[in-house]
């Protein structure tokens, strides 16, 4: 799932880190130069946890944010991956509006 945000690369990257902290997701790898963040979502009633890859691409005057959530150890996700992606992008959009 991808969203384009009109802001500077560094603001979007820093806001992404802030959102991950708010969500309580663990950050396994953070590479600001490459625009990559790998995070983990804890085990819940509905899943055995998910691995989340976030890639930021600096465009002219905006940033493309792509997120992909993948279940760690289960065949059916019951929509949890999509929910993770939507939740992150919605919170990121709200975070970016606060910094305007």
CA angle, 54 as apex, 45 and 16 as ends, to 5°?
90
Q: What is the pLDDT of residues 63-76, one digit of tens each?
A: 999 999 998 776 66
Which residue ranges in the chain fall short of pLDDT 70?
45-46, 74-78, 100
Domain ranges of the chain: 2-98
Select the CATH number that applies to the domain covering 2-98 from these four: 3.30.310.80, 3.30.300.30, 3.90.950.10, 3.10.620.30: 3.30.310.80
pTM: 0.90
CA dist list (Å): 89 to 3, 19, 33, 75: 7, 9, 21, 24
């Amino acid at each position: 799932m991808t969203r384009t945000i009109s802001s500077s690369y560094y603001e979007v990257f820093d806001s992404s880190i802030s959102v991950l902290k708010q969500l309580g997701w663990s950050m396994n790898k953070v590479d600001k130069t490459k625009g990559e963040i790998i995070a983990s979502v804890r085990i819940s009633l509905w899943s055995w946890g998910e691995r989340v890859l976030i890639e930021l691409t600096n465009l002219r005057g905006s940033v493309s944010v792509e997120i992909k959530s993948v279940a760690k150890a289960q065949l059916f996700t019951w929509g949890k991956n999509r929910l993770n992606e939507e939740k992150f992008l919605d919170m990121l959009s709200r975070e970016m509006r606060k910094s305007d």
